[in-house]
Amino acid sequence: MKNITWITGASAGIGKALVKKFNKEDINVIATSRRLNKLQEISKELNGSAEFSVYSNDVAKFIEVKELVEKIAKDYNIECLINNAGITSFKPFVENSIEEIEQIIDTNLKGAIYTIKSVLPRMIENNNGTIINILSVAAKTIFTNSSVYAASKAGLEIFSKVIREELRDKNIKVINVFPGATSTEIWPPAILNKHNSKMMNPTELAEMIYDVYKNSSKISPEEIVVRPITGDL
C-alpha cells in the first residue's frame, strides 16, 4: 500500500506551501480544507509526479474526519499527518462572541485531536508514522487580542506532549512546530500590509518543515520554534 501525507488547512498560506513542497519532492499528498475550490486551483499549479488528491473536509466535525480517513485507508497508508488547519480572531477576549470561541477551539484544538484520533490506530498497527502539528509562538509568548487562539494552540501543545510519551515505543514521531509571524491570509489586511516585509515566507517555512519530516528515522526534533529574524511583531 502506498504511503501518503495528509495536510489539513491546505487551501492557502502554510498549508498550500506544504502541498507544493511535498509534491515537488514526489511525496503523495491528500489535501483537505473546507474550501474545495481553492484546493482544485492548487492542483493545477503542481508539477510533481506524485499522486495528489483533494477533499472538502471540516476537521471540527469528527464524523467527517473519521469517514474520510476510512476512505483514504482503503488505498493508502497515512504515514504522515500535518495538522495545519487553523483560524483566529484578533480582538480582546471581552469582544469575542461565543460563536467565535467555539469555532476557534473546535478547529484549532478539537480538530487536530480528531484527526490524530482517526489516524493513530493505523499508525500504531504499522509501527510507523509522523504527526506534525503547526502551532504558533502564541502558545509560548503573550500576545494581546489572541487569548482564545493562544489557548487553542497551547492546549494542542500539551496534548501532543502527552501522546508523544504514550507513543514512545510505537515508532511514531510527534513534532510541534511553533511559527512566528508568517505572511498568510490569517492576518487582517491592515496588519499584513504594515508588517509583511518582516514576516516569514510560507514557502521557506514549508521547506524547513519538509526537512524535519525527512530527518533520520532515529531522530525526532520534538519542538521547533521559528521566528522572523527581526523577532516577534
Rounded CA-CA distance 152/144 in Å is 15
The residues with which 54 forms a beta bridge, in sequence order, are: 31
Could you tell me how far CA 42 lies from the centroid of its own chain? Answer: 17
Identify the CA nearest to 55 among candidates 44, 47, 45, 43: 43
- Residue 149 among the catalytic residues: yes
Contacts of 201 (CB under 8 A, 6+ apart): 182, 183
Rounded CA-CA distance 78/21 in Å is 18
Q: Which residues of 142-177 are buried (b: 16+ CB within 10 A; e: fewer)?
A: eeeebbbbbbbbbbbbebbeeebeebeeebbbbbbb
Q: Which among 76, 114, 149, 210 is annotated as catalytic? A: 149
Annotated catalytic residues are 149
